[in-house]
Amino acid sequence: MIRLIPSTVGLALVIAAIVLLPGVATALHQPFWISIGTRILIVGIAVISLDLVVGHAGLPSFGHAAFFGAGGFTAGILSVQAAADPSSALLQLIGSEAAVSWPLAAAVAGLFGLLFGALALRTRGVNFLMITLAFAQMLYFVFVSLPTYGGDEGVRLRQTQHLFGRDISDPLVFYYVVAAMLIGTILGMRMLMVSRFGRVLASCRQNERRTRFLGYRTDLYLLLAFALSAAGGGLAGALMANHLRYVSPQMMSWFQSGEFLIMNVLGGLASSYGGLLGAAAFIVLHETFLSFTEYWEVVLGIGLLVFVFANPGGLARLLADRR
Amino acid sequence: MGISAVKPHLAFLSAALAIGASVAHAQSPVKIGLITTLSTAGGALGQDMRDAFQLAAKEEGGKLGGVPVDLMVADDGLNPNTAKDIAERMLQHDGIRLFTGIIYTNVTLAIVPDLLRAGAVVIQNNTGPVELDGKNCNPNLFGSAWHGEAPGESAAAAANARNTKQLMTIVPNYTSGLEQRGAFKRGFKGQILDDILVKLNQTDYAAEISQIKLRRPEGIYMFLPGGMGISFMRQLHQADIGDIPMYAATTVSEQVTATVGEAARNVVGSAPWTPDLDNPASRKFVAEFREAYKRTPTVYAANGYDTAKLIGSALAATRGDISNIAAVRKAILAAKFDSVRGKFAFGASQYPVEDWYMTTVSKDASGTYVPHNAGKVLTAHGSPYADQCKF
Amino acid sequence: MAAFAFEQSLNAIQLGLTLFLLTAGLTLTFGFMGVINLAHGSVYMIGAYVLAAVSLRTGSFLIGIAAALLTTGIIGLLLELSLVRRLYRRGHLDQVLATFAVILIANGLTTWLFGRQPIQLDIPSYLSGPLRLTADLSYPKYRAFLIALGVAIAVLLHIVMGRTRVGMRVRAGSTHRELVRALGVDVRGLFALVFGLGSMLAGFAGALIAPLQAVEAGMGDQIVILAFVVIVIGGVGSVRGAFFASLMVGIVDTLGRVVLPFLLKSFTAPAVSTALSIGVSSTAVYLLMAAVLIVRPAGLFAGRA
Amino acid sequence: MSQPLLRIEGLRKSFGALAATNDFSLDIPTGETHALIGPNGAGKTTLIAQISGELRPDAGSIQFAGEDITALTIAQRVERGISRSFQISSILPEFTVLQNVAIAVQATEGHSFRFHGDPWRDPRVQDPALRCLEAVQLASKAHVIASELAHGEQRQLELAMALALKPRLVLLDEPTAGMAQEDARRIQALLRRLKTGLTMLLVEHDMDLVFALSDRVTVMVYGKAVSSGPPEQVRADPVVREAYLGDFP
């Protein structure tokens, strides 16, 4: 069985690359790498959190963008409300203090995860995939038809973001804040996957019925995994909202969910930092193709097909068709 | 130095090459960043705009206003994330300080404030979002097409000009749709029978058309951009509803009327420029555009062409030195160029003050349905929020 | 008002039946082969493009329809033989990835071939205009034509699935896949056949809807999700389920667009009520799905598996 | 008479017109090894599913150690001491043999909503797991990936997993299904050793094993118990001979 075994050496290399990127970018006179790097790290957080459900627990979730968007809109709405009512000290605090708004975004997304997960986990396999997709679409349409927050066009965040009172809007500062969150996510994931909870998830992935007859209430473990994953997606969404200073329902579209899933498989399922590698590979390829041709979709599509078939059974085999 | 049509940026591989290149050109041409939407289904407007912009530069042999320009075109794929990366790259790596080309509001909202914060000059060559007008205006932001609510206002003027007593509105439920409807209702003198809101990118309008049939309005105000409008017109045409004028402002282009055919015959559009507008600049533009691209330019193409000429006038005035932003601003505001629209001037919030024309659709000699200029409906019309703008 | 209610009922039925054409093929491939084919919407788009291109060249709507059926059937077969066949044994994720890739390629190629502007297409004169039923009741001929075709296809499928050997095998296979394999039926041939026919139905749906809509790249990307929702509601693999669920979705969607704003207007401000009703009506289908899942997690017409 | 460990009364379960369990009653006292035999389709596996909690009966009751467990979930039954093996080997293929058992041992600790600390480095999990492997004579394969085990060894592993749950009643659904004669005898010997101190309900087709191991045998035909008693008595029962055993020696 091929598996991406998270080695300590690999982790060290990844962390080193994250930490050194801004320096390298400056040395090579490519300062905009910091911006695209920030985006890769943020998407990496989203994909790693998706991997908890798809890779570790073996549930094919096709609705991760909903949580990404829910987190983004939480941050966005807080910021808009704070801007609308400058006299409210409380709103100012919530809207511009990341130490408040980010956990709040993660919590909101996590609650959505609990709700959607409770319903979706009544099924498995294909139906699970379709139901998570449909729930994400539902949330997407709700936000598209909410003109208060821009509807389809989205809203701009007006507040300058602070972390523990310090301004973090400088791109380099923000990069390192995001990097810290990402490294935290990776380390947290590594802790989780070897813990008792993680072992039960791995057991569910391999044989949920057997796990149930060992006395585990597998629904509860999977639900918590789903909610944690949603919260991670929400955190990434809030970070993205602050990075772009803009949120829109596009964050929740099913294409976004599809891209997350692609990055997840690309990077390797059931790993700790594979999601980051997948995000980096996908985003760099996407931007490169886009800069070369208007028909980048064709090139990207062919690339994906090659990837799927060059990996016969590959990393995705861990997620065999199971009910 | 000429124009690189779509300049490939292998951002991650070409670092060393790029450094070499920037050293080699001590006497560099003025770089202009054209961030626009060329791919995806939404790419048609951006392509029109880009083609016309490039046409303007080609006329002068790679110069605008006599100054050599390096036009860097980048496709944002209608994705704010991509747009942000392109903007950062152009700002930081290419050192560009002059931007234009953005078509869609989501891209505008995602990157324009950052570009302005970085001290760049941005010329919006499509609808300027209301959010960046009035009290949120910015000295470095210009609109070369029209202010945010002009399409709705001009549609109302067209409906008034045709003495419409009562009508219904149909718009998608999102910010632009509601803004345009608001602008329309402000200007319309008759009675609104009912407002219909539809889902964005809705494709079936049977239920809405039955409602329209029931109310028998004299006209319909529709703001249904892109495929939505085509679907609506085709389906309305099949209903037992007679000839009802559809006031569509700028959403129904020449290409759309040609595509939709007979179902588009009742469209009453409005625009600050039409291909049959009779002035020398316009005649020259239409002829050259047809010659170069074998199609009739749309108003979006005209906007791109005028934007290029506007930039050219500013470059001529500053002799290609755009390091002094105050001087560049002053030169742009003066707007000393021959606009295809005839007259062109900026209002206080730096959006155009311009005339608007109504168009009606009829069959031309080849059997194609084409919009024709049917007279002026607004004169020297500018942003209603202009006086709230304080720099 | 009675005429209005009748007309809206027809609208709901027509919407449902057109959706059924798209979902019938999908539910079979989904249930029978267990393959998630996101590219079903791309085949729908191809059907629309072929109809438009061919009927513009030949001037004949019927030749256009025939060409669309033929092309999408062949494309379906080719997809099965080259791609989908390799995906049966793969996990759902590989299927999602591969068919997602097909969507990207199809959209890219379509814009490359046909440009980014929606393309021209007219309804043939004999199907154009209103059909006058009574003095105050008329209905677009073309929509009536769609209803008639939808019913015809539903009846045809009912007969094929219920009365023919192939149909019974497919039906058994879509709910008890392993069983049919165990019986030694030539599943490979059957799979290719079903996939080709399913694609043809999708192409047919796309071709039929084309004259009423903007034929443009990506036109299948949203509706394919709706098709999957219908399938989940109806129960994976059940054509009957797809039929009733499609009608339910058509009715719920039309009710949401017509009745809801009307009801809400009576007790809220008009501006609020319309916005609210759009919000509710665009999610009504998904709420319906959630409600069905709470009661019957496997869908309304799922086989007892 | 002391209370039986498992008491099944009037159990019924139908699938459409087919009555898989038809007014079935059974008592199993603590310490007994009880065999359930019957032709294919007699409803044996359906019965196991109802006892283990996977299927809800239509009527009747199941009592365990004096408690009515008819409405309890699988997890609650496992907690009370009912564990099972499967007719078709059901293991965790990517884990090692030891890890398979360890996840079962971990289940006896109460909930596993613990997010820190690796149970595979915890002697409180590893030691009991190794002991279970020793009990089924699989300790030498502890670090082999479970999917690489031979078929017979996978059955041994299943037994170890069932034992690791510290059960009071083990439901064994055809522990020698699909096994070579030699392997089956090994499992038989293993079960004989485990028999002391365990209550077992054994579904089995291998008559040698049934008659060698069981204290009592119940014959099930069409969802009904047609005969029940010590092996010799059942073997002699003419009803059984006619209905099922045929010309059994």
pLDDT at A12: 87
D93/A210 Cβ within 8 A: no
Which is more confident, A89 or B115?
A: B115
- Which residues neighbour B348 within 8 Å (Cβ) at sequence distance 6 or greater? B382, B386, B387, B389
Asked if B373 and B255 sit in the same domain, the reply is: yes
Q: In angstroms, rounded to a whole number, what is the distance separating the alpha carbons of residues D249 and D237?
A: 13
Share of chain B above pLDDT 90, in %: 67
pLDDT at D149: 93
Interface check for C112 against chain A (CB to CB < 8 A): the answer is yes
Chain D residues with beta carbon closer than 8 angstroms to that of A203: 92, 95, 103
B127: closest CA of chain C, how far (Å): 20
Of residues A194, A207, A216, nearest to D90 (C-beta):
A207
Interface check for A318 against chain D (CB to CB < 8 A): the answer is yes
Section C89-107 average pLDDT: 91
- Which residues neighbour B379 within 8 Å (Cβ) at sequence distance 6 or greater? B355
Interface check for C276 against chain B (CB to CB < 8 A): the answer is no
Q: Are the C-beta atoms of residues C279 and A109 closer than 8 Å to each other?
A: no
Tally of domains within chain B: 2
A313/C90 Cβ within 8 A: yes
pLDDT at D18: 84
In this predicted structure, the answer to whether residue B3 has a pLDDT above a threshold of 70 is no
| CA proximity to B140, closest of B118, B114, B122, B124 | B122
Q: Are the C-beta atoms of residues C44 and C231 closer than 8 Å to each other?
A: no
pLDDT at C180: 67
With cut-offs at 50, 70 and 90, classify the pLDDT of residue B4: very low
A147: closest CA of chain C, how far (Å): 8
Flag whether B169 is in a domain: yes
Of residues C15, C129, C275, nearest to B206 (C-beta):
C15
A212/D75 Cβ within 8 A: yes
pLDDT at D203: 92
pTM as predicted: 0.90
Interface check for D132 against chain A (CB to CB < 8 A): the answer is no
Q: Which chains touch A (3 or more CB pairs under 8 A)?
A: B, C, D
Alpha helix ranges (H) inside C34-91: 40-58, 61-82
Asked if B139 and B158 sit in the same domain, the reply is: no
Asked if B160 and B99 sit in the same domain, the reply is: no
A123/C293 Cβ within 8 A: yes
Does B touch A (3+ CB pairs < 8 Å)?
yes
Which is more confident, D28 or B7?
A: D28
pLDDT at D2: 67
Chain B residues with beta carbon closer than 8 angstroms to that of A286: 82
Chain C residues with beta carbon closer than 8 angstroms to that of A129: 36, 92, 96
Which residues partner with B70 through β-bridges?
B31
Q: In angstroms, rounded to a whole number, what is the distance separating the alpha carbons of residues A196 and A191?
A: 10
Q: What is the CATH number of domain D6-245?
A: 3.40.50.300
Least trusted range by pLDDT, from A164-178, B158-172, B232-246, C251-265 = C251-265
Least trusted range by pLDDT, from A8-17, A104-113, B3-12 = B3-12
B210, HSE (Cβ side, Cα atoms, 13 Å): 26
Flag whether B9 is in a domain: no
| CA proximity to A261, closest of A233, A220, A225 | A233
Q: Which of A224-238, A266-280, B218-232, D203-217 has the highest mean pLDDT?
A: A224-238
Asked if B142 and B282 sit in the same domain, the reply is: yes
Strand ranges in chain C using DSSP code E only, listed in sequence order: 130-134, 137-140
pLDDT at C174: 67
Section D1-8 average pLDDT: 83
Asked if B21 and B119 sit in the same domain, the reply is: yes
How is B281-322 classified by DSSP, letter by letter? HHHHHHHHHHHHHSS---HHHHHHHHHHHHHHHHHHHHTT--
**Which CATH number is correct for C9-121+139-295, 3.40.50, 1.10.3470, 3.30.160, 2.60.40?**
1.10.3470
Section A190-219 average pLDDT: 95
Which residues partner with D189 through β-bridges?
none
What is the extent of the structural domain holding B168? Answer: 150-273+355-388
Task: Report ipTM (2 d.p.).
Answer: 0.88
Q: At B258, which helix (H) or strand (E)?
A: helix B254-260
Of residues C108, C231, C293, nearest to A297 (C-beta):
C108
Backbone dihedral region of A70: left (phi > 0), alpha (psi from -120 to 50 degrees) or beta? Answer: alpha
Asked if B378 and B302 sit in the same domain, the reply is: no
Which DSSP category does D139 fall into?
A: G
Q: In angstroms, rounded to a whole number, what is the distance separating the alpha carbons of residues A264 and A260?
A: 6
Helix, coil or strand: residue C240: helix
pLDDT at C4: 87
Which pLDDT tens digit goes with each residue over B253-265?
Answer: 888 898 888 899 9
Asked if B267 and B287 sit in the same domain, the reply is: no
Tell me the CA end-to-end span of chain B in Å, nearest whole number. 36
- Which residues neighbour B21 within 8 Å (Cβ) at sequence distance 6 or greater? none
CATH number at residue B137: 3.40.50.2300
Asked if B234 and B288 sit in the same domain, the reply is: no
Chain A residues with beta carbon closer than 8 angstroms to that of D173: none
pLDDT at A266: 87
